Homo-oligomer: A and B are copies of this chain.
Amino acid sequence: MGNDDNTLTRVGEFGLIKRVTQRLPVHDDCLLGPGDDAAVVAASDRRVVACTDVLVEGRHFRRDWSSATDVGHRAAAANLADIVAMGARPTGLLVGMCLPGDLPVEWAEELADGLAAEADLVGVSVVGGDTVSSKELTIAVTALGDLQGRAPVTRSGARIGDIVAVSGRLGWSAAGYTILSRGFRSPGALVAAHRRPEVPYAAGPLAAALGATAMIDVSDGLLSDLGHIAESSHVSINVESKTLEITEAMANAAQAMGVDPLAWVLTGGEDHALAATFPPDVLLGGDWRIIGRVGVGRGVTVDGSAYEGSTGWDHFR
């Protein structure tokens, strides 16, 4: 990959920006795209939802495990998932790329391809960004979204008696990470899930329309993220472990690695599933499935007991 004639240092900042922006499709919500001091994006309901998530090489991805396109998919997915977790429809992405000068231009181009392809899944564009040279490869993405007239679904609205439900995969990315870190490359479905999460994008606005009382993107791990809902809502949450799916591939991989697959499902982040609470009489649709219930008190339990072991990820520990 790459040679000295085709590094970022060779093509320069403006050459890179030109090559990257050429690859980015423009969707309807983008009223003014890359190339000016700032972008202009539609915000039809007079509010805009916005979030920022940063991926750092070695912490969030490894170039020997993931292609540039994979990294682009993940960086976009991590942010788009936060937007849909508010019940909003994504409307655009901005991308700050901090790239080493000796990086091949193709890597940056493929990163842009991955970002654009993931954004395409929800019909939005990369509307702007910044490129700077750095020692550490870092991708800072901001996503914007439209609430379509609905109230945002926050973490603080869960009520005692609500049901707890999830949409999307749990534990797949963590399983893939364990497999890769032990030097293996299969089962392919789990490894692929670590490289590129499959975010249940439609489930966020659907949950809002169904009356979800609280919602969160599962990025730190199910128990850790349900803990954020419990804390913000001043309630407790109990998860029934028998409702959580452990696929055959996951069970086999866990056995081969000598680990408990339930730990992946309960504490693995980065699949960007959605977890939400709903009134007990809700008629769920889509991929939403009930996994527990909101109660009095505080904290998160599994089958009525505290879960033994680490519940999630802290970036400075």
Residues on A lying within 8 angstroms of B by beta carbon are 8-9, 11-14, 16, 31-32, 35-56, 58-60, 82-83, 85-86, 88, 92, 94-98, 101, 127-136, 138, 140, 142-145, 147, 152, 154-156, 215-217, 232, 314-317
Contact A52 B95 (CB under 8 A): yes
Pick the contact of A316 from B8, B48, B49, B82 — CB < 8 Å? B8
A50 to B128, CA, bound (A): 8
A131: chain B residues within 8 A (beta carbon)? 315-316
Residue of B nearest to A79 (CB): B38
Contact A40 B147 (CB under 8 A): yes
Given known contacts A135-B135, A316-B12, A98 and B154 CB-to-CB distance under 8 angstroms: no
Minimum-distance CB pairs A-B, first 5: A140-B140, A43-B43, A38-B51, A54-B96, A142-B142
A83: chain B residues within 8 A (beta carbon)? 37-38
Contact B46 A39 (CB under 8 A): no
29 contacts between A and B (CB under 8 A): A14-B314, A31-B47, A37-B83, A38-B85, A38-B143, A39-B51, A40-B47, A40-B147, A41-B48, A42-B46, A43-B43, A43-B46, A44-B46, A50-B50, A50-B92, A51-B94, A52-B95, A54-B96, A54-B130, A55-B132, A56-B133, A60-B132, A94-B142, A96-B140, A98-B136, A98-B138, A131-B315, A136-B138, A140-B140
Contact B32 A152 (CB under 8 A): yes
Contact B38 A145 (CB under 8 A): yes
A152: chain B residues within 8 A (beta carbon)? 32, 36, 38, 40
A52 to B86, CA, bound (A): 22
Given known contacts A40-B152, A315-B131, A142 and B50 CB-to-CB distance under 8 angstroms: yes
Contact B314 A38 (CB under 8 A): no
In the assembled complex, the CB of A46 is this many whole angstroms from the nearest CB of chain B, namely 5
Contact B317 A56 (CB under 8 A): no
Given known contacts A9-B316, A85-B38, A138 and B134 CB-to-CB distance under 8 angstroms: yes
Given known contacts A135-B135, A138-B138, A316-B11, A40 and B44 CB-to-CB distance under 8 angstroms: no
Contact A48 B40 (CB under 8 A): yes
Pick the contact of A50 from B41, B140, B156 — CB < 8 Å? B41
In the assembled complex, the CB of A249 is this many whole angstroms from the nearest CB of chain B, namely 29
Contact A50 B38 (CB under 8 A): yes
A236 to B12, CA, bound (A): 24
Contact A50 B127 (CB under 8 A): yes
In the assembled complex, the CB of A271 is this many whole angstroms from the nearest CB of chain B, namely 15
Contact B48 A144 (CB under 8 A): yes
Residue among A16, A51, A216, A217 having the largest count of chain B Cβ atoms under 10 Å: A51
In the assembled complex, the CB of A214 is this many whole angstroms from the nearest CB of chain B, namely 10
Residue of B nearest to A83 (CB): B38
In the assembled complex, the CB of A19 is this many whole angstroms from the nearest CB of chain B, namely 12
Residue of B nearest to A8 (CB): B316
Contact B85 A37 (CB under 8 A): yes
In the assembled complex, the CB of A44 is this many whole angstroms from the nearest CB of chain B, namely 5
